[in-house]
Structure 1
């Protein structure tokens, strides 16, 4: 007779997805990368305690799939419980009313299970407000692009010719390379499944890194930006200079906080950020606030006469001792001391 422990041991849950290539599909007559979405969907499910050690079933046989506990990216059904496919004609689900991008299987799994994944991986109570903040942030900055790619949605109008081809370095293209070669002399379901698991691990590694970064680095930085915003009038009467004791990821939080607190007037927006470099803060940086989070254009670049100069030449042209450098584009510079960097900021405000 089996022991009580063995009798109570649950059968591993089964995840179902389609077999075949996880590379290219045709959407509205356009060839688009695919496969990255179900590879990531499977990985995310396996981050949940109940799906750790789960069995993966890759098939297109409806009877085989229905024996699984959850089915992703196949079977033309979506119910938010067992079926998570997005290929049916009537499908129009988005992450929230704030987004127009239709979800892929990755987006569907993320939408339904990410709060639990975030809570479990980062050891944060699921009802903590930071879970919602991270849930929205990771979707906007990572998952949405996977959804758009799989659904054949371009990031920019089709009549805009790109300056170079970046498709070959995208995550979906790297997933595609993991498919067995078309002319391989060995083609088996077992080999195909092994390659799919490699693709799932690749997508999952990036997802883990993204989530860890946002949870352990990006989110804690918000408090530093809040404090810098509160103390900005100490350095300039209009609050145009922010000071951090060390380099933190501040850009995203700054633009969010500006919208939240309602910074009044363009003449009172932060223009320069100062922060110490290295553990000993042996030098200080002055960085210009960009016109938007992802822009290379600064709200107010450092003075033209300073750009491209270094050391004594910079100190001489600026009239400020301790000069280290100013980038040729004027978006960043450095000084040996905090006082010197602060003087660079104040002088730049008046030029």
Structure 2
């Protein structure tokens, strides 16, 4: 396959040249990197990556092709792809298409043959920043102009762009438990984990009212993952506060964790370059055990604010790389959350117990 030239320009003026992959075009977004060795299609379709240019640290992308069963949403959600070796021939017999055909069909612009090791070191040093990929325009002044017009992730609300437009149900209405999901950009495997635990699930748009949510008569309330800055999501924080008032078991993952923290007046902050990958060690402070976790977040909850509000919030999990807060539970409420992704099979099953913990809370509450 003959590749056209492509260029990557970062907000600080750093440039990388490479070859065009996917669709020929131009795209902008905040640059981030994922350290996972596999699962590229799940990452591409994770709504939490909406608006971001993804750097894959694994040297080979595309070698096992793509298939519909590996998607986490209805389309590719990353804004652009940056990789080292882009492999069009694939080895997996059950794959349905090559990565090039898949990305072209999804309209995704990308660049390969980039020194991703140098690029990741640059991001780790300088921090997350916006970038632009183009395989159609090589006028640096024009690219800089387009890049300058791209919004910063800090202060950006994005969940309303990826949430479901209409509420929908999954599973059997006769199931033992009813779970209402506030969809801020949920992954499909989260929903499948509820279904496997005999739950009937109703997924609500991000801006659904508490009246709509409670009209489902849920036994448990879940706040999903999603993209953007939790500090720009007062509407979701207000809903989470109202959820807490229901005294129903409540569970949050990733952005849902940050929204739950904000609901009890714990602020969030933008991280230097975030956590993204499937190999991050986290310690469960309750059991003393460590877990290998899947992560995808560029914001965190304030450890200082949590320390000052020990009467409201208990820390349950900490990141063993940098000691950031990875899990909390609300004092006096049947509510807890984690910053990482237990549904993404890290470990591969280290964090499955969190779904069981949620269902156990529901059982206790119904008893």
Based on CA coordinates, which of the two structures has the bigger radius of gyration? Answer: 1
As a proportion of its length, which structure holds more helix? Answer: 1
Q: What range describes the TM-score normalised by the shorter chain of this pair?
A: under 0.3
Query: TM-score under structure 2 normalisation?
Result: 0.24
As a proportion of its length, which structure holds more strand? Answer: 2
Query: TM-score under structure 1 normalisation?
Result: 0.24
